[in-house]
Structure formats: structure tokens, C-alpha cells
Amino acid sequence: MTRIAVPDESNLEAEWLEADAWGGFASGTVGTTRTRRYHALLLAATQPPAGRVVLVNGIEAWLELDGKRFPLTMQRYAPDVLYPDASASLLSFDTEPWPTWRYKIDADTFVIAETFVAKESRETVLRWRLENASKAARLDVRPLLSGRDYHALHHENPHFSFDATLEGERVQWQPYGDLPAICATSNGAYDHAPDWYRNFCYARERERGLDFTEDLATPGVFTFDLARGDAVMILHAHAGHDKPFEDSAIAHASRLASQEAARRAAFGSRLARAADAYVVNRNVGRTIIAGFPWFTDWGRDTFISMRGLLLASGRLGEAESILLEWADTISEGMVPNRFPDSGGLPEYNSVDASLWFAVAVHDFLATGQPHAATASHLQRAVDAILEGYSSGTRFQIAADSDGLLRAGTPGVQLTWMDAKAGDWVVTPRIGKPVEVQALWINALSIASAWNPRWQGSRDQALASFAARFVDPDTHTLFDVVDAGHEPGKIDRSIRPNQIFAVGGLPFPLVDGDIARAVVAQVETQLLTPLGLRTLAPSDPAYKGRYAGGVLERDGAYHQGTVWPWLMGPFVEAWVRVHGAAGARERFLAPLYAHLEQYGLDHVSEVADGDAPHTPGGTPFQAWSLAELLRVEKLLGAQ
């Protein structure tokens, strides 16, 4: 858990996440200001896990005591005005068992505010209670609504409907007819008082060079007498078939809290509990969200993340469901890399996603738990991938005459270094990238266990790798050979991709002096406390800061920016070369400290290449957390 006592400017904008089981979520900051367009209390996935819409962005809450008004939430308005400011009253924030704030109103009056999402029912529960109170106190809560795609922003308009339907403790609004209705069930009194709050300012969006102001509608105010007991508000998206609760709002919230507390307590560790956020439903079966707040599920991310989030955590049934569902999407030897948010045909635009699928299958089968029918189905899927890659498939992906895998066409980004801005592919890496060969040879090795046909291909590719990728001067590995599909052209950029020939995959490709040289070069030039840089600082193309608008950020994404997920393969490689002694303290301790900042209890997508390595990108990234979990288990087994 993360506990922040006496929050200050250094951590008020750290972010919390409460995810449901369908792709929706609630999120915000320690200080309660919304700094992103994605921060919301009710953000629902209408086509799980996609079709996400923001329905309730936030609330204004304040306490009336002795004729004075004390704010419990904060808002930021353009150009940069914080009002009201509740930071002086905020004593602490805790993520255990869910986001909880403690405010000191006066010497005798404390308020506890809680927010959690009931995972399966997709309800957001807000609760407030007085602690050590000797005076009567009234709580007022004003919901702030929109009704928009989660990537968009909302502005005042005449089409927003403020109409409210009241039934017992439940109030329902439907701002726009093509979106789900918003239901708020509470034990408070509702006063209908429509208004607009204008020009909210989202600081993180401004930093990203995007539009950053928004108008929100507020239909009315809920009033609670806290002297009589807890206040609760339960928010959910009305799908047209749900009914009001059979019991009271306070009883329903209490039952949800008990269920959620028990479910969360069942996870063996803080990291395992955080990992659960990424595992969600998709159609029939399950999938893995690549990151919150703006990613859905991606093929590459799913199979990399599965190894730590599910397999290392013993969640084998969910891993099986995901692998079987993705196995049925194989086309021309490729699994999709992405399902569009708005539906439509999947996108087959990755050379490595299919190979990571084979690695995930290997790790799953290695547990010894799958039924024979499941194992056979997955083995056939891996064979289909190797058949497609051997004979040739999309984007010039094919086994070349030397047995290595070539890939790439102009204008398409196929490897994990996939940044593209307009028509600019920042790191095209066309030809034979080093980590793709490591994955290809691993996939051939994996399939050879059940199909002898692949043994010859594996042996040829491994021999060609040793002959073509080793730099004779440094004994490290080239990043790309036959670059641009030009025979003999070498890309000597010092990047982290060579580490996969030593660690991160079931079968290392090199050992001895070469393995030690690779680990040494990566450690000396690319290692930071939060992960590996994507390019050595000595390279003229190096970008030390991941900041600015879309073009600037995409240009730095794989040109020096640090990726925490790469710490997993690096630590495994380091252990294979040097042994496990001291590895946990040296390499994992900074990541544990990172759990207390940015995305609380999670690991960020990226960080700056230059010190102090400020985290960036998504605050909650699946494969970053997954590789920490996987390496934890690896080191625990040493």
C-alpha cells in the first residue's frame, strides 16, 4: 500500500487507480484536483474493454460546520487558479484497501473520505464519515457531469439534458440520448439546481501539448447530515435493464465494501493486488489492458505482461482463457497487435507480438497444468505462426536464406520501438532487428519440443545469429543487420534490444564473454534506477527528456527515454552472468520506491533518460508492473 502523511506539493498530484473488470475505471490525484481528461469517478466501457465514456468527472464536496464552509475537494481552473484549496486540511492519503483521505477540520472534527470501485458490478462507491466529532456537521456534494469519449473534452452546449428522475434514494440523469444514463443512489437529500462549471484546467494535458480546458455540468446538490451517520453515494452507468437496489444505499455500500475488502485481501502482495487492475473481460474470455488511462488491449503488451501478471502469480485459468482467445485470431501466421477502440477489424501490424505469444505459450505449458486439449490447441497455434513466418506474411516478414527473420516496409513500425508521428516512423528498424531474432529463435526452440520439423530452422538461425550479430571489436551485439533490407548494412546503435539475447526469454542465444560484454555495455550506458534507456546518451540522436507536444514526445519515445519493463530482461541477464547475490537490493529497490509516486502502487510506462529520471507516459503500465512481478519470482527462486 501507499500511505502519504501530510501531503504536500511534491505528492498532491500523484495518481490513484480503481479499475473494474470490464475496462472502465475511476482515477484521480491525492490532492483531488483532476490533472488529466481521463480523471473521473465514473468512466465506463460500453464495448468492453473499449468504447470508454466519461460520465461523472468528479465532485465538489464541502463540510458545513459552525456556520463555516470547509472544502473537501479541489479544482483547478484556467489559466492556473486552484479553488477551493483544501490542502491545508488534508492530513493523509492511503491506498489501502482503497483511496482514502483524512481531513482535519478543527481540533475535534475529522472527516474520512473513501472511493472504491466494485470490480464486477462496475459501481463507484463514495463514502464519508466523521471521526471524533462533537458537533453537528452537514456534507454537501455536487456531482460534475459530462458524457463524452474518454479521449475527448466537454464544453457547454444547449444539447446537454439536466432532467432528473427520482425514485426513492436513486437519482438518474441522461445528459445525451446515445450514452448510458447516470445513476446516483445515496442516503442524502437531492436538490435539483442545474448549472455549468467552466474552464477546468488539466495540467498534464497542457504539458502533453494537447487541449486542456473543459466545461462540466452539475445538475444539483446532495446534502447529508453526518452527525446521524455515514454518507454514501453509489454511481453507476444505467444500461437499461438494471433495477434500483432492494436494500438501502447505506446497506448496499456496506455490502460492496465488505466484498471488495475480502477480494483485495485475498491477493498475496501489494503488487499482485495492483496487477489485478489490468485483467479484464473481453467478449468471451479475458484480456489484459496495456495501461491506464489511455490504452486498451494490445497483442504485444498482453503476452509480455501475462508472464508476470498471471503466470508468475498463479492465475493460470485466466492465462489459459486469454491464450485460447488470441489463438483463434491468427491470420497468415500473425496475431493482431491491436483491436481498434471503436470496433472494426483487428490490426496485424507487429512482427514480435506473434513471437511473444509463443513465449507466453511456453511459460504456460511449463506450469504443467494445461489439459491435453488446451496444450494441443496452443501448440497448433504456435506452429501456424512459424509456418506463416517461414513462408512469408505481411510487411515482408519472412525467414531469409540465412534462417534469420527479416521484416519491414517503409512507413510501418513493426517492432516494439513503434513510435510514429504522422508519416514519420521514428525508429523503423527495417531488416533484422536483434530482439526479433532472439524471439524468432526462441519460438523455434519452443516448437521444437513438440514438432521436430523446427529443429533444423532453429539450428540454422542460431548459427547465423552468432556469425552475423556479434561485433568483433566489442563482443556486443548489433541492433539491426541487413538494415533497410540492404545485405550487410549494420545499425550499431547502442540500444537495449540486445539484452534479449541474454535475458528475458526462455533460451539465451549467447553466453560466456559475449553475454558478459552485452550486460556490461547495457549496464554502463543504458541502465538507470527505473529501467533501461532506449538509446545511449553518446548517440547524437539521443533525447534525454520525454516531454513537450506529440511530435516531441514521439521523437523521444525510443531515442533515450527509459522503459521500466526492460528492467526485467536486464536483471535476468545480469543474474545469468553474475549470479543473484545483491540483485534484488541493487535493481529492484528503486522500483519499489517508485511505487510511492506518480501512479501509486504501480509502475509507470516511461521515464526521462536524463536524471532525475522523471516518470512519464501512462502512470499505470501493465508490462512495467508485470516484469517487476516476474523478476521478483525469479529472484525468489534463486
Nearest to 113, CA basis, from 66, 62, 54, 173: 62
What is the helix (H) or strand (E) element at residue 245, kind and residue range? none
Place of cell 479544482: 75
What per-residue confidence (pLDDT) applies to 392?
Answer: 97
Give the global pTM. 0.96
Residues 6+ apart with CB under 8 A from 613: 528, 529, 530, 562, 607
**390-405 residue pLDDT tens:** 999 999 999 999 999 9
Backbone angles phi, psi at 240, to 5 degrees: 100, -5
Average pLDDT of span 163-170 = 97
How far apart, in whole angstroms, are the C-alpha atoms of residue 247 and residue 225? 20
How far apart, in whole angstroms, are the C-alpha atoms of residue 398 and residue 388? 8
What per-residue confidence (pLDDT) applies to 181?
Answer: 97
Structural domain spans, the chain: 3-265, 279-391, 404-413+423-511, 526-638
Q: Which three cell numbers stand for residue 564?
A: 521500466
Average pLDDT of span 212-239 = 96
Residue 240's pLDDT band (cuts 50, 70, 90): low
What per-residue confidence (pLDDT) applies to 403?
Answer: 98
Concatenated DSSP letters of 561-603: -EEGGGHHHHHHHHHHHH-STTHIIIIIHHHHHHTTSSBTTS-
Nearest to 207, CA basis, from 617, 622, 584: 617
Nearest to 313, CA basis, from 337, 284, 278, 359: 278
Residues 6+ apart with CB under 8 A from 478: 434, 468, 469, 471, 490, 491, 492, 498
pLDDT at 528 exceeding the cut of 90: yes
Backbone angles phi, psi at 626, to 5 degrees: -60, -45
Average pLDDT of span 614-621 = 98
Average pLDDT of span 183-191 = 98
What per-residue confidence (pLDDT) applies to 596?
Answer: 95
Counted residue by residue, the chain has a size of: 638
Nearest to 54, CA basis, from 175, 159, 169, 168: 175
Point out which residues pair with 291 in neighbouring strands: 621
Q: What is the CATH number of domain 3-265?
A: 2.70.98
